Amino acid sequence: MKKADVVVLGGLSGITAGISCRRHYPDKKVILIRKEGTVLIPCGIPYIYGTVGGPENNVIPDGLLENNGIELIKGEAVDVDRKKKVVTMKDGQEIGYEKLVFATGSVPLLPPIPGIDKENVFPVKKEFDYLSEVHRKMDDVKDLVIIGGGFIGMEFADECRKGRDIKVTVVEALPRCLQMAMDNEFCDEAQAKMEETGVKILVNERVEAILGNGEVTGVRLSGGKELKADMVILGIGAVPSNDLAKKAGLEMGFKNTIKVDRYMQTYTDPDIYACGDCAEKQSFFDGRPTGVMLASIATSEARIAGANLFSPNHQNCGAISVFSTVINGRAFGVAGLTERVANQIGARTVIGTAEAPDTHPGGMPNSCQTKVKLIFSKDTGVIMGGSISGGKPVGEMINVLSACIMHRMTADDMVKFQMGTHPALTSSPIVYPIVNAACKVVIPLRGSL
């Protein structure tokens, strides 16, 4: 029987957990077990169908494991004997462990829509061969319907139209696309950018049935309208991949996730940890369970899990929820609470907004107007969330806001922010929008603190 100090079950967050373990405990032997032959970059999957040109250009090389001294075993783990501390593979091979990490991720949510099993109806699976087949078939598609107007759906809509003579329609049940992630003004801006490309967006609509005899020919909406479709993409979310964890007797938490503490240690077994989409999450803001699944959270949890396997080094501060996306060349990012969510939880807030070009002067080539919205607690002055739209700098600006949120900075703190600027790279220091948005709330906050 093969043995290791640490066995990791899973893909992307498992890689990060394994690397983190090796950094903290270089003398420990780590084995990573994964079912997939090739690991894809999950956030890059929509870009397979446009910008990057195929799944082969969206993979994480196995050399990353080898370079970090991690042994890779490709195959399916089918059983975990916690008493004997043994993982059994589908081929009968047994692997012993001292510490075990579940990083088994998530799988697409499949809604109970009649006809969902028809040919050319594709949930977004993280499987190389599967996505290669979708890529091949898409070259012959004329009418594509995407069910779901969240990040996955909107990014697929944006990418699939590139280089193809294809009609793309997004069907979203809520009043706005991206409504679960962004405030209304940013949703409206993103939808307008998407519609500039010719993509049709139908909101307040539900798919009642997928039509066709064997192969999809269309979808019927709840209002009776039918849309022609020779391919349907399902982009409505994901659920934890936790069948093996349940079989092993691990306690499940919110939305069928593995229950873990702040050290990413399972409640059931002190020698088993979990991280990523399969693990339970608590909000940074109120400690309540949250079902959010993001790479920013998964990789943070994986680093924490790997570091804590043999000694408690880090605690998980909770899910801040920071992410970004690009729609027709315009970037959108959110960190922490949106105004909508703040209102839903009854938070008293003060909001500051600012706009500025992301170069100075704004007449420099490729300059883009940046919009910033910051949300502060009226009771404490601490930043609770931020939203940004603009050009490429948005991707890193939203990360700066996440750090501000994590360290509970106040508007007063952010006013004193010392930003490095350059005419070709940033907004002017005089009108730097993150700082200016904070400046606008300092006086109103003083009257309420």
The second-level CATH assignment, the architecture, of 2-35+75-107+239-308 is 3-Layer(bba) Sandwich (3.50)
Question: What's the rounded mean pLDDT across residues 373-391?
Answer: 97
Question: What's the rounded mean pLDDT across residues 13-37?
Answer: 96
Give the model's pLDDT for residue 37: 80
Q: How far apart are CA 229 and CA 209, in angstroms?
A: 12
Q: How far apart are CA 437 and CA 62, in angstroms?
A: 44
Q: Residue 375: pLDDT above 90?
A: yes
Residue with more model confidence, 354 or 42: 354
Q: What is the pLDDT of residues 241-294, one digit of tens each?
A: 999 999 999 999 999 999 999 999 999 999 999 999 999 999 999 999 999 999
Q: Residue 131: pLDDT above 90?
A: yes
Question: What's the rounded mean pLDDT across residues 62-68?
Answer: 93
> 12 falls in which pLDDT band (50, 70, 90)?
confident
Give the model's pLDDT for residue 374: 98
DSSP type of residue 266:
B
Q: Residue 449: pLDDT above 70?
A: no
Q: What is the pLDDT of residues 145-161, one digit of tens each?
A: 999 999 999 999 999 99
Rounded to two decimals, what is the model's pTM? 0.95
Q: What is the pLDDT of residues 405-423, one digit of tens each?
A: 999 999 999 999 999 999 9
Angle between helices 394-406 and 433-446 (to 10 degrees): 30
Give the model's pLDDT for residue 446: 85
Q: CATH class for domain 329-446?
A: alpha beta
Question: What's the rounded mean pLDDT across residues 292-305?
Answer: 96
Q: How far apart are CA 110 and CA 18, in angstroms?
A: 31
The second-level CATH assignment, the architecture, of 121-236 is 3-Layer(bba) Sandwich (3.50)
Which residues of the chain form CATH 3.50.50.60?
A: 2-35+75-107+239-308, 121-236
Q: What is the pLDDT of residues 221-243, one digit of tens each?
A: 998 999 999 999 999 999 999 99
Question: What's the rounded mean pLDDT across residues 55-81?
Answer: 95
Q: What are phi and psi of 324, to 5 degrees?
A: -150, 160
Give the model's pLDDT for residue 16: 97
14-26 b/e (C-beta count within 10 Å ≥ 16 → b):
bbbbbbbbbebbe
Which residues of the chain form CATH 3.30.390.30?
A: 329-446
Tokens describing residue 227: 């849309």
Q: How many Cβ atoms from other residues are within 10 Å of residue 145's Cβ?
A: 25
State the chain's mean pLDDT as an integer. 96
